[in-house]
Amino acid sequence: MNERDSEDVAYKLKEKGYEIVSDEKIADVVLLNTCSVREQAELKAIGKAGHLLRSQNKNTRPIVGVMGCMAQNRGADLFDHLPDLDLVVGTQKFHRVPQYVDSLIDRVGDIPKRIVAIEDEEGSESEIKDHLDTEIDNPTAFVSIMQGCNMNCSFCIVPKTRGKERYRTIESIVEECRELADRGIREVTLLGQIVNAYGRGSLRKINNKTPFVQLLESIDKIDGLERIRFTSPHPISFGEDLINCYKTIPSLCEYVHLPMQSGSDRILKLMNRPYSRQRYLEIAMKLREVNPKMRLSTDIIVGFPDETENDFELTKSAFEEVNFEMAFIFKYSERKGTPAVSFNNHVPREVKEQRNQVLLSLLEKQSLKSNNLSIGKRFQILVESKAKRGVGKLMGRTRCNRKVIYDGENCEIGQMFNVQISSATPTTLFGEKI
């Protein structure tokens, strides 16, 4: 979501005549788009902004702004840490960044030296911008379909930083996807904080299909668009209609990132996650049933307040039972303003660390096993970019979201073809074009 927001702000600045430079050392304006999900992310962003503000002469230093979730969450309090900061822009004001930068550049006389813009925007679904104007240099694109979240997971700051759910219309999303396909995009990833709840309470179910399923069906009909992904869904909105889409919608890739957070019902309840371990396992099983090629990944929080050894063992066993092949495993991080901060029995740091390590090594084992099973098999890949390492190496992705590195020519970026897998690590497959 942040990548998508940054693209949009960059485009709007370019439209106003600004130029994006490749090195912050020569920039006149530096904007940091920030995350608030964990404390560490906020501390890093504050450290980075402080460095930018201190590293140059006060009169010649760049204008420095902080945007996004941390800006929304902390607002003017950021000046306690960063007294020279110029600009604080919340999540509903991204589209106004060029106007704020203009006025900071032109500041004279009585014009305030710093700007804080974190209020809610009226008619705020219109702030979820489409993509039609941004430059595209690879064959995949993110498409924001909604903003905000009406859930109140007790650990999560997102409802505070992103506000209530707002949805774009199906027509505008489909139109954007169609234009992207016309411009050569082969794969879209639909974005939302609770993406599969898209349209709830606002758009009607038709033939017992949720608005999200209706949307997937409509996007599938677009010529030239070969792959659809989405992130992040919530188990409560993963109904039978959505599970069946993996049988009926050809362009829907057989990969689901479904946050589980914990395998213990007691902890799920404390987290205010309204599903059970049993229900989660059932969804995972059904997804593998409708498409045996399905790969699943998840988010897990270890060391949530009051998580006992027994709760953790339940998470571990669910992790094994689902056989996740990819996962983001987080040590619980206290977020001021969330209910969980006031819960009893916070778990000591070393226990969190130890549980984190247990799941990370389990993940490595499961992932390697699954990747080794791919050796000798053929996969269709969409070539996305040059590989980070290795001359003449390119990186493509399978439908099940595995990276494949192979020898190829740069002109192949954007193309789809089959590769045969010859070796594997826990995170990457290596293969040859066939």
- The residues of the shown chain that bind ligand SF4, judged by CB under 6 A, are 149, 151-153, 156, 158-159, 193-194, 234
CB 253 to ligand SF4: min, Å: 21
The pair of structure tokens assigned to 270 is 């404390």
Query: Closest CB to ligand SF4 among 156 and 215?
Result: 156
Query: Are β-strands 140-144 and 187-191 bridged in parallel, bridged antiparallel, or unpaired?
Result: parallel
DSSP string, 336-393: TTSGGGG-S-PPPHHHHHHHHHHHHHHHHHHHHHHHHTTTT-EEEEEEEEE-SSSTTE
Query: Closest CB to ligand SF4 among 193 and 210?
Result: 193
> Do 319 and 362 meet the contact criterion of CB atoms below 8 Å apart?
yes
Query: Are β-strands 393-398 and 403-407 bridged in parallel, bridged antiparallel, or unpaired?
Result: antiparallel
Distances from the Cα of 266 to the Cαs of 282, 310, 328, 426, in angstroms? 18, 11, 21, 32
The pair of structure tokens assigned to 113 is 């030296």
CA dihedral 253, 257, 258, 264 (to 10 degrees): 140
> Which residues, at least 6 apart from 260, have a Cβ–Cβ distance to it below 8 Å?
235, 280, 298, 299, 300, 315, 318, 319, 322
CB 260 to ligand SF4: min, Å: 12
Query: Closest CB to ligand SF4 among 161 and 366?
Result: 161
Helical H segments across 183-275, by residue range:
211-220, 240-248, 265-270
How far apart CA 146 and CA 258 sit, in angstroms, is 18
* Count of beta carbons in the 10 Å neighbourhood of residue 336: 12
Query: Closest CB to ligand SF4 among 87 and 194?
Result: 194
CB 285 to ligand SF4: min, Å: 22
Query: Closest CB to ligand SF4 among 194 and 387?
Result: 194
Angle between helix axes 240-248 and 211-220 (nearest 10 degrees) is 10
> Do 69 and 37 meet the contact criterion of CB atoms below 8 Å apart?
yes
> Do 225 and 176 meet the contact criterion of CB atoms below 8 Å apart?
no
Tracing tokens 């057989």 back to the chain, one arrives at 254
CB 152 to ligand SF4: min, Å: 6
CB 193 to ligand SF4: min, Å: 4
CB 342 to ligand SF4: min, Å: 17
Distances from the Cα of 251 to the Cαs of 31, 183, 224, in angstroms? 36, 18, 10
Query: Closest CB to ligand SF4 among 139 and 305?
Result: 305
Query: Closest CB to ligand SF4 among 146 and 153?
Result: 153
Query: Closest CB to ligand SF4 among 139 and 235?
Result: 235
CB 299 to ligand SF4: min, Å: 8
Helical H segments across 221-308, by residue range:
240-248, 265-270, 277-290
CB 73 to ligand SF4: min, Å: 13
Query: Closest CB to ligand SF4 among 194 and 300?
Result: 194
How far apart CA 244 and CA 260 sit, in angstroms, is 20
DSSP string, 50-104: HHHHHSS-TTTSPEEEEEEHHHHHHGGGHHHH-TT--EEE-TT-GGGHHHHHHHH
CB 340 to ligand SF4: min, Å: 11
Query: Closest CB to ligand SF4 among 192 and 431?
Result: 192
CB 192 to ligand SF4: min, Å: 9
CB 143 to ligand SF4: min, Å: 18
| CB half-sphere exposure, 67, CA atoms < 13 A | 26
Query: Closest CB to ligand SF4 among 115 and 158?
Result: 158
